[in-house]
Each structure stands twice: as structure tokens, then as C-alpha cells.
Structure 1
């Protein structure tokens, strides 16, 4: 049997579900609004999308999204269902941009649907053969940072914008001396005239390199190289030449083709920031789940990807955050095809207080735990902020409550008093 791509959706429709699913399949493969003379049965059999499964869910009285009224029906009901479609790989080949057009293209605009969301993707092994996937992933990131088991404790340079290269370096020096494992630029700080990328690298990397020479452990700094393609490649090379180990890109801004091209050129760990993710995720009625989304970027080649954090400042619920992190740690393909697992990045309002809950829910320390205020605003200073997070994660792994562990660890006790 030829390889096939499978995609599962949540749909809502005032039409018969079977009819609506066939419209999806036709629109995203060989069909149009009417049968054509050269659309033979053989062509449809070889290239048409197939409705593999329909699972009816609940029925609602009002549409979740605006929908064109149905002629002759004053008060239709709206049926929800899970629908799985499949396509032959022959339609597009193992191409990520064309995959996106196929599974997440015009179907969102079809008049038959008052809700439609891509929930999951299952891809044939030919995609793994065509795309490089992560270069470092979890194991390589641990090797680059010299950390074998515990989470990477990280932070974000703040203020987001406005600091000069010299001011950025001052913050980095405090963080490095304080024992941080990972530092990243904010997604808004890339190559602006007040803090050009090359000047920032020149200011920051001597500090990181000197610390590595003294301690034998290099702090990973994710320089934000998001830009036009030529500039990204140039800035990647500049970071690598300076001894850097990581570059960050805003995935939605750069696109699948940009990230793939960068990955094929890359010698650094690629840190994927999902800025703009809410466009796809915030509505339960349209867009894309993170389960599907992260598979695209893993194939494109990121080594880390943001998943938000527990009790975050955004709208995402905790169970969604954990589900996102879990899917990053799961293989994408059946053995012996490489699984291309990536390291989830927790951030957004994180402090020592979330460590135990995060570990209990995820069951893994293969993650980057980024805290801004949770480190910088610690009453004992940056070094104490870093220690408090390490202590919180030690408590989590040992199965001890934060309060009990804090009784003998001053930095954690101060964090729990400060961050309520």
C-alpha cells in the first residue's frame, strides 16, 4: 500500500456530517464544486482524499463561528464530529510547505463548517527521510550544556527591548556568575538599531567563554536571529564563530521554509519560539492544536520549542500546557525511523512554585524551565533566584513538598515567601 498522510479534525456543520466530510476531502485533493470531464474515477481513486473515520460528538443550537445560512432551513442544528482524512503521498511528495496547504489550507473557509480545527497529523516515514529534523534535540542540548539529568534553568533578558549591548552584557554577567544554565533573547529583541545582533554577540560571548574556561561548563545563550533569510544565515555564522551554541528563531515569523533552510545550514542548537501561536490555538473552534503544530517544526529542525507554563500569564490551561510538553517528548514515527524528540521550554510567569506540579504532571526533567521575575526579583538576588529554582526541582524529583524542602533551603524559602 502506498504511503498516506492522515489528519484528524474537529468539525461543526449544519449539513449532514458525511456530506461535509466529503466536501473537505474534495476541496483538499482532486475535487471542485462540480464534477469535471477529466476528473476520472481512476484519478479520484489515485489522488482523491479519503474520509477514513467519522466520530459524531454533540449537537448544538447555534454556530460557533459565522456561517452562511442554509436556504430553506430556518433553524438548523450544528453537529460536531471528529473526522480523519487521508491523502496519498503522491499528491504532494514529502514537502512541508505543501503539506500545510493540504491539511490546513482552504478548508478553514468552506461554507459547510461553523467550526474546524486540525487536531493531529500522522506522517509517513518519507518525511523523516526528506527533512533533517533536530540536530541536537534533548541529548545534544544536554551535551552542549554539560547537564545530564536535571532541567536546564533558564531566563530571558528583560527589559524586552531598550537595553544596549553593554547593558545586556551586564545582565548576562550577573546571570552567569549566579549559576544560570540557559539565557535567551526576548522574541522582540533581534537586530534593532539600539542593540544590533553582532554588537550583542561581541559583548556577551566573551563573558560566556571566560566563564566556560574557568568552570568547564558553557552557558547556552539563544541569540534571536529572526530576520530575512540572508541575514539569519549571516547572523548564525557570526554566533557560531564567536563560540555560541544556540540561535533562536520566531517560528511563525520565519516560516517552515525559512527554518528548514536555516537548519540545513546550521551548526547551533535551534531554539523555536512560538510567538503568534494564539492565532492558531486560542479558539477551540478554528486553527490547529499544538500536537499537530509541533510536528511540523520538529521536522523542520528545531531542537527546543516553547510550550508555555503552568499558572501562566496567558489564556492557556495547565492541562493543555502539559499535553503540549508531553507530545514534544514522544516519537513521531515508528521504529526504526528516528523519533526526533525535542526539548519543551516552559516559560511565562514561572517561579519555584511551579516546579513540583510541573514534574508531577510531566514525569520528566527533559525540559528548559525559564523564569524571568522568578529569578531577577528574588529578594536574595539573581544567584539566589537560580538556587531557588534548582532547589524546587530537587524537591520535585525527590518527592518532597516545597514547604518541607524550604525548611532547610533558605533560597527556596525566600522564593515561596515572595512569589505567592
Structure 2
């Protein structure tokens, strides 16, 4: 561990000499502070100080992106900055690594803008972290879906249905041929639809369908809560025959996720709700490819990446970069690959572009309105997505495929190539 280092890339905007600002960031996030202190010896700095590995001037910026910094009236510059830290500073503690690479440095007065764009971790950390237990191979084994994406959907209305009403909707979706269903992140353990009641009602339906068809639909139950609650809820899902649980990353935090992962024997579907407050300003926060590294190490099997032509503000390029990041190994020994989940306004019209950009079927393609609002019903909605993916992967155009698929043709008339809900 002595020579192992964690490395992070940032885009920094500052009114200060960039080299001086970079040194301040490195000192603040390791062995230094705003002035020299007793005990900060050369030997200590050699052992524990962060290093500035790269500093590239990207040119001037017109003004400070963030309020409250020093030198707001001075010219600002943007630089590409790489810092590294000895793994010995934090050990393999993911919460403390987060505090190191994304802690007080955002608040320094010399920072007029700061965004983390990449996080690279040593093999020692990957090996020591739990990582995904299932990923795509385990998810495919449980759902018996091979050679194509899992077609999924989200329970809608997001909240307000009772447990029995949710189960009735799941019955419809199972009959329609769905592979994967998830709770909305708003649905956890409210009075209208208590978690325990929902699990039992939904699993009665799913188990019944599995008994008839031989294939069990995967349902991701949202067990987000305190650690003891999440463990108990996981065990109920397992006891009722369920095959997936879901947690909201920004609600449970890394410690909650790690506790769940170390307890769980089911795949963990990780939702990123709240992602906008970490990412939406281009001069603040994280790129997804950096942020997601920690959650992959913590054990997420599935992670949301938004979708092509989504209903939110994220660009297609960002969506695809996020998905590719999840499918990029963190080390040769233990790749820690998570399965991308495409959602947010998806329908059959986005399938070809998703396939062309990503080139893999190891994903969950989730559509809400794209299935439930199909004019010929949910079964036709599912069929439209299955046929679109078969065409895309087989090299057939969407228009050609729609001639032989009434469900696909109706989807294109209804949703076009844009958001399907």
C-alpha cells in the first residue's frame, strides 16, 4: 500500500496563479494548511502530502463561476489539474477517500470553479472493496435474459398506489413479458403502500407468474432507509422470493451502501436521484464517470445513467460517457463492472442510437410511458422495445423493422424518437 496512490482530475477556475492555487488544494487535502505548522516535516510531507501531477492552462474565463471567492474582480483562468494522494492516508475506507478527493477543496477562496472529471484508484483498493456481487452476468442468470438488454419499467404513478394496486399493475406487466420492474425512488415505506405489504403482494404475483412460465421477473424494491431498516427489508424480499433491492445513493451515503452490500445476497439497484445538485453546474461538482467509481467499489450492481434524448437536461454525450464508464474495468484483477440503466423518457425511438453509441447489450432499458402509454397497451409497449432492440442489434433500420412489427410502428407514431415517459 506504501506506493499505491489515488489520482483525481479536475477542471479548476481561479483568479490566482494556477500553480499556487493547485498547491493550496493539494496542501488543504493532505498534510498542509494555510500556513506552516510544527511537525510538518519534509519526511512527513514525503509520506503523506498530495502531489500536483499535472497542470495545463486552458485559457481565460470571463468571470468567477461561483460566489464568495477571493479576487472576484481579477482575471480568471481555467486549468486542467491532476492531484494524487498516497493510499496510506486513508487506507481503503471509501467514505474517507471521498472526503479526501471531494472535501474542503470545493470551498477554498482561491477556487472560482472546480469539477472532478476522473477518479483513478489503485488495484489494491479495488481488491479490498466489495464491488458488485452480480453485475450483468448475475442479473442475466437471475432473469434468464441473454443476448439482449433487459426491458424494464418503473411503477407509475410513482406514488399513491396501494400495495394491492401495485401488485395488480405488476400482474399486467408480467403478462406483458417485462423483464425488470422497479419502484420509483419516491416509493419506500409510506402509509399508503407500506414496504412489507408491497413486497408480499407483489411477490405473490411474480411467484405465480414464475410458476406458470418458468421465468421470474426481477423487481427492485426500494428499501432506502436507515441501515437496520435496509437489512431487515432486504431479508424480507429474500424470504418472499424476490431477486433485487434498490437504494438511493445520495440518501443512504457510502456507509449505508457498504453496510447493505456486506449484508446483501441480492443484486443492488442503485438510483442516483439528486444527481443534478452534484453535477448540473458545469464548473462545480462531478462528472458521473468520477462519482460512479466510488459506488461501483461499494457494490452497486446496476446504476442509472439517464438516457438518449432524455426528459432531463443531460446531453446524449454525457449519458453515453456515463454508461461507458460503468463498463470500463477498474482493474484487471477485479473489474467491478456495474450494469448501466437507461431511463428517463425512453421509448423504441431511442434504441438504435443507444446501440450505435454503446455497442453492448449489457444494460437495462427502462421505459415508463414508453410501455404503459403505448396505444395498444403494455404488452405492445414491451414488444415494441424488444423488436427495436432486435432490429438495432441485427443491423436493420427502425423503419424497416416497423413494417413487420405493428407494436413498433405504433410506438414510433406515438412517441417518435423523443421522450416516451
**Mapped partners of 1:367, 1:316: distance in 2:** 19
Q: TM-score, normalised by structure 1?
A: 0.97
For 1:215 and 1:195, the matched residues in 2 are separated by 28
What's the counterpart of residue 16 of structure 2?
15
Specify the alignment match of 2:232 in structure 1: 234
Of 123-132 and 31-40, deviating more is 123-132
Does structure 2 conserve the Cα–Cα contact (< 8 Å) formed by 1:61 and 1:76? Answer: no
Q: Partners of 2:128 and 2:389 in 1: how far apart?
A: 38
| Structure 2: distance between partners of 1:41 and 1:350 | 56
**1:251 aligned to 2:249?**
yes
The superposition leaves residues 195-235 of structure 1 with CA deviations (integer Å, 9 ceiling, x where unpaired) of 01110011110111111122111100000000111111000
Q: Which residue of 2 aligns with 1:52?
A: 53
Counterpart residue number, 2:133: 135
Q: Could you say what the CA RMSD is over the residues aligned between the two structures, in angstroms?
A: 1.0
Query: What is the rounded CA distance, in whole Å, between the counterparts of 1:365 and 1:61 in structure 2?
Result: 43
Q: Residue 69 of structure 2 contacts residue 111 of structure 2 at CA under 8 Å; is this kept in 1?
A: no
In structure 2, the partner of 1:379 is: 375
Q: Helix, strand or coil for the counterpart of 1:383?
A: helix
Structure 1 residue aligned with 2:160: 162
How many angstroms apart in 1 are the aligned matches of 2:183 and 2:339? 18
Post-superposition Cα deviations, 1:272-309, rounded to whole Å, max 9, x if no partner, equal: 00000011110110101101111111111010000001
The alpha-carbon deviation at position 153 of structure 1 amounts to: 0.3
Q: Quick one: which of 272, 290, 304 aligns to 1:306?
A: 304
Where 2:88 maps in the other structure, the secondary structure is: helix
Asked if 1:401 corresponds to 2:397, the answer is: yes
| In 1: Cα distance, 2:349 partner to 2:62 partner | 42
2:389 aligned with 1:388? no
Q: Scaled by the length of structure 2, what TM-score is found?
A: 0.97
The SS at the match of 1:256 is helix
Partner residue in 2 for 1:344: 340
Deviation track 1:58-109 (CA, whole Å, cap 9, x = no partner) reads 2123112224343xxx852111111111111111101100001000000000
The gaps in structure 1 that reach 5 residues or longer are none
**For this pair of structures, how many residues does the alignment match?**
415
- Which runs of no fewer than 5 residues in structure 2 stay unpaired? 417-421
Q: Secondary structure at the match of 1:396?
A: helix
Aligned structure 1 segments of 4 or more residues deviating by more than 6 angstroms: none
Deviation digits for residues 25-60 of structure 1, max 9, x if unmatched?
A: 000001011111211111111111110111111212
Aligned to 2:414: 418
Distance 1:300 1:400 in 2: 39
The whole-number CA distance in structure 1 between the counterparts of 2:218 and 2:108 is 46
User: Any idea what SS the aligned residue of 1:119 has?
Assistant: strand
1:135 alignment partner, SS class: coil
Which residues of 2 match residues 20-419 of structure 1 at below 5 A?
20-70=21-71, 75-333=73-331, 335=332, 337-419=333-415
* CA–CA distance in structure 1, aligned partners of residues 325 and 127 of structure 2: 21
Q: CA deviation at 1:113?
A: 1.1
Mean CA deviation greater in 363-372 or 36-45: 36-45
Whole-angstrom CA distance in 2 between matches of 1:183 and 1:253: 21
